[in-house]
Chains A and B, each alone.
Chain A
Amino acid sequence: MRSPYQPIAATLEKVAEETPNIKTFWLRPAEPLAFRTGQFVELTVPGLGEAPFTPSSSPAVAEQMEVTIMKAGTVTDRLHELQSGAKLGLRGPYGKGYPMEDMYGKELLIMGGGVGLAPLRSLLYQVFEDIDKFSRVMLLYGAKTPADLIYPEQLKEWSKREKFEVLVSVDVGDNGWTGNVGVVTTLIPKVKLNLDKTVAVVCGPPVMMKFATLELIQMGMAKDRLYLSMEKNMSCGVGKCGHCRLGPYYVCQDGPVFTYDKIETLAGLWE
């Protein structure tokens, strides 16, 4: 029986800089690695270890995977130094991902903060595939400064798509910035929400998730239609090692995406 801890080989095919500390990595696994959008993988840098990341590419493609990663620790520091051709490892996918079927027929509000847009891009690719099943898609994205925005060209491109509204904000602007300034929640009043038929998906740093959630709930958003990415420090990915516990849940296997009604009463939810 194959150990769940055994990765498959993967080759780094291309690297692109998104921001000074965020890069996108194109990986080719030795065998196709199919995933549902919102599921994550454990990426191995031999000698340094492995870390969990949610692919930012289309789930329709199993032969190649894109992962957008911020430089933040031992594994990611080395990743940022690697050139194409480097040999890596992958295992997964893990977790439940986004239940697309439950979102069909609705207006989709997607909120991302910082590098939290990376996994949401995978969701967006899935939405493009299923666009007939959505009446409207709103993307609200915020980053610290204009230089910290990832996928800037794609953001422009997406805003031109039919049914799409894309709003971007930065916490602090610069001389060239003419857009919205303020945390991402300041974009919420700028879209006309039909809450009774809206599904919301939020992914970003804990504090952003907290305030986005509280604001949407206060406005009357249904708790069971609010999807939150509750990522924690994760090690094994298969519900054993104990790092990612959140109340009774293993975030890696029971999540990492939860509807708010499943977790709202958990003590210490936003800690």
Chain B
Amino acid sequence: MGEQKLYQASANWLKSAVDALCAAGIEVLAPTQSESGKVDLARVTSSEQVIQSYPNTAFPLKRLFLPMSEVLLEYEKGEEGDVELGPKSAPAKELVILGCRPCDAAALEMLDKVFQWDYSDVPYQEKRDRTTVVSLACSEPSPECFCTSVGGSPQGSEQSDVLVFGGANSAALMQINTAKGEKFIERLADTVTPAPEGTKLPEPTELEQKFDPQKVKGWLDENFESNFWVENSLGCLGCGTCSYLCPTCHCFDIVDEASWNRGQRRRNWDCCSFALFTLHASGHNPRPDQAARYRQRLMHKFKVFPERFGRVACVGCGRCLKNCAVGQNLLADLADIESR
């Protein structure tokens, strides 16, 4: 898009948008809070369920495009032993995601690169195509946030069809980035109005850069063999929480789940921290210990992915360090690497 299109809406924009979209029969995911206090994007049917103020959601967006467990096809064995390997019909309903944070939207860029290079991953792409992403710019980053260290910004608009500034306590400003974004604005009808000419976006929220990915990559380039990998992975349980909560981690495994005469082929999230991830049928395992697996995770995110796809596979959301059961801290590890 050439010139930037800005619209303004009331502080109550999120609830108005939910009601307008639900009334139009569109599937809506919006921020909600559970009784235990967990904030997450959930399917809503009314603005009553929606909250407007939160640091970030518990889960990133990837599970909406790459579900934790997804049926790829279903099959059934007939009387004669014939097998029907039928594709699973995908729901093609339009979906609008409201209120994700810019880091989580930006992560879709990395997923797109993987799922679109060479072969197009049809199950992923169908969900991507039917979805409009409306992000909410951050005015108060959390202590674990580090998007500015990995090329992002609390106001980054990457992969957001619409980026919304303000709201909750003040009027909202909406930056329209794509055709899908324009369609979203049309749906909001008279609850939004074009911003007056000369309207400027708010000053960027400051977030200190905590490490330099170029310096990190420089060290990674030279240090495949280093005690760092053993020392910093001794505490790792190999549980996969960091990968499962990572907006950019996308590894999966394809398995069959069958009963007597019918079954499903599913793809399930997998993780390079797991011992079985690289195990050959022969019993040989190229990554036989946790140090090798931890090295793979960091090398892939901060060396290999940038070499292949042009940017680091991390958006600085901080979920991995916030949720690790044994206090593994990616940010501290990267700062450690940078200081070497």
Q: Which residues of A contact B (CB under 8 A)?
A: 1-9, 44, 46-51, 70, 72-73, 76, 85-89, 205-206, 232-233, 235-236, 238-243, 245, 247-248, 253, 267-268, 271
Q: Is B101 an interface residue (CB 8 A)?
A: no
Judge whether A240 and B286 touch: CB under 8 Å: no
Q: Which of B125, B250, B278 contacts A232 (CB 8 A)?
A: B278
Q: In the complex, which residues of chain B have a beta carbon less than 8 angstroms from the beta carbon of A233?
A: 277-281
Q: Is B83 an interface residue (CB 8 A)?
A: yes
Q: Which of B85, B284, B300 contacts A205 (CB 8 A)?
A: B284
Q: In the complex, which residues of chain A have a beta carbon less than 8 angstroms from the beta carbon of B168?
A: none
Known: A5-B73, A87-B83, A233-B280; 15 extra A-B contacts, CB below 8 A, are: A5-B123, A44-B265, A206-B284, A232-B278, A233-B278, A235-B252, A239-B114, A240-B115, A241-B251, A241-B267, A243-B277, A245-B300, A247-B304, A248-B307, A271-B287
Judge whether B254 and A5 touch: CB under 8 Å: yes
Judge whether B87 and A241 touch: CB under 8 Å: no
| B72, B119, B252, B258, most chain A CB atoms within 10 A | B119
Chosen A-B contacts, 8 in total, with CB atoms closer than 8 Å, are: A4-B119, A46-B263, A50-B254, A88-B83, A241-B254, A242-B272, A243-B277, A267-B225
| A2, A72, A89, A233, most chain B CB atoms within 10 A | A233
Q: In the complex, which residues of chain A have a beta carbon less than 8 angstroms from the beta carbon of B267?
A: 5, 236, 241
> Smallest Cβ distance from B85 to chain A, in angstroms?
5
Q: Which of A5, A72, A245 contacts B72 (CB 8 A)?
A: A5
Q: Which of B224, B251, B258, B282 contacts A47 (CB 8 A)?
A: B258
Judge whether B281 and A76 touch: CB under 8 Å: yes
> Smallest Cβ distance from B249 to chain A, in angstroms?
9
> Smallest Cβ distance from B295 to chain A, in angstroms?
9
Q: Which of B73, B81, B254, B308 contacts A235 (CB 8 A)?
A: B254
**Please, which residue of chain B has its CB at the minimum distance from the CB of A48?**
B256
What 1/0 flags go to B245-264 for Cβ under 8 Å of A? 00000111111101000010
> Smallest Cβ distance from A232 to chain B, in angstroms?
7
Q: Contacts A46-B83, A271-B286 known; A240 to B114 CB distance under 8 Å?
A: yes
Q: In the complex, which residues of chain B have a beta carbon less than 8 angstroms from the beta carbon of A239?
A: 114, 117-119
Judge whether A243 and B284 touch: CB under 8 Å: no
Q: In the complex, which residues of chain A have a beta carbon less than 8 angstroms from the beta carbon of B251?
A: 241-243
Q: Contacts A5-B72, A233-B278 known; A47 to B122 CB distance under 8 Å?
A: no
> Smallest Cβ distance from A7 to chain B, in angstroms?
6
Complex Cα–Cα for A87 and B79 (A) = 12
Q: Is B187 an interface residue (CB 8 A)?
A: no
Judge whether A5 and B265 touch: CB under 8 Å: yes
Q: Contacts A2-B122, A240-B119 known; A47 to B256 CB distance under 8 Å?
A: yes
What 1/0 flags go to B301-315 for Cβ under 8 Å of A? 000100110000000
Complex Cα–Cα for A88 and B265 (A) = 14
Judge whether A1 and B252 touch: CB under 8 Å: no
Q: Which of A46, A73, A88, A242 contacts B281 (CB 8 A)?
A: A73
Complex Cα–Cα for A47 and B83 (A) = 10
Q: In the complex, which residues of chain A have a beta carbon less than 8 angstroms from the beta carbon of B224?
A: 267-268
Judge whether B277 and A46 touch: CB under 8 Å: no
Judge whether A46 and B77 touch: CB under 8 Å: yes
